[in-house]
């Protein structure tokens, strides 16, 4: 069967947690499958939220981060095997780490990270993310027109391309 159908959302912009066909999203941007559970994480850009679509049991959409703790135009999300999400908080020019066990949110690449580039290049609108093996994060940075590589365990980063 080659039929294309909506996995979640009504097609009307909004923020509503509900069964997948009734849920409302606002410019969903980034997607990431959970590596160990049947879940799809969604960077819900205009809502400033991270949502999760449960892929079993009829499917439902829930907000993980957003209401009360919004992000500023999240555009990318990647799930790790450690029950964490890394989010491209694009308009805040940051990467956020969400601990799915505790619900805590921290700056993923702030203090403690050293640049190998001279001069250092701070993020200016990160948009896309992918993990390249354990502990290595690749970030597409829209305003600098670069791919930035973060060695998360080591605490350094550099311009990759």
Look at residue 17 and tell me whether its pLDDT is greater than 70.
Answer: yes
pLDDT in tens, 42-60: 999 999 999 999 998 889 9
Q: What share of the chain is helix, strand, coil (3-state, %, to 5)?
A: 5, 45, 50
Phi, psi of 22 (to 5 degrees): -105, -10
Taking the C-alpha atoms of residue 158 and residue 161, their distance in angstroms, rounded to an integer, is: 9
The confidence score (pLDDT) of residue 33 equals 96
What does pTM read for this prediction?
0.91
Taking the C-alpha atoms of residue 51 and residue 156, their distance in angstroms, rounded to an integer, is: 29
Outline where DSSP puts E strands in 9-153.
18-19, 28-33, 39-44, 49-54, 60-65, 74-79, 84-89, 94-99, 105-107, 114-115, 126-131, 136-141, 146-151
Contact (CB, 8 A) for 91 and 43: no
pLDDT in tens, 22-38: 999 999 999 999 999 99
Contact (CB, 8 A) for 137 and 150: yes
Taking the C-alpha atoms of residue 124 and residue 43, their distance in angstroms, rounded to an integer, is: 18
Mean pLDDT rounded to a whole number for the chain: 91
């Amino acid at each position: 069967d080659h039929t294309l159908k909506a996995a979640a959302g009504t097609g009307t912009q909004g923020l509503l947690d509900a069964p997948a066909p009734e849920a409302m999203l606002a410019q969903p941007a980034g997607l990431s499958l959970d590596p160990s559970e049947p879940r799809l994480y969604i960077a819900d850009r205009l809502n400033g939220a991270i949502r999760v679509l449960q892929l079993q049991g009829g499917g439902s959409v829930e907000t993980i981060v957003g209401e009360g703790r919004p992000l500023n135009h999240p555009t990318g999300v990647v799930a790790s095997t450690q029950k964490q999400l890394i989010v491209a908080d694009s308009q805040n020019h940051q990467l956020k780490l969400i601990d799915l066990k505790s619900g805590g949110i921290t700056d993923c690449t702030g203090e403690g990270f050293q640049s190998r580039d001279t001069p250092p290049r701070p993020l200016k609108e990160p948009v896309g993310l992918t993990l390249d093996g354990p502990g290595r994060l690749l970030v597409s940075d829209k305003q600098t027109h670069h791919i930035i590589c973060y060695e998360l365990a080591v605490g350094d980063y550099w311009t990759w391309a």
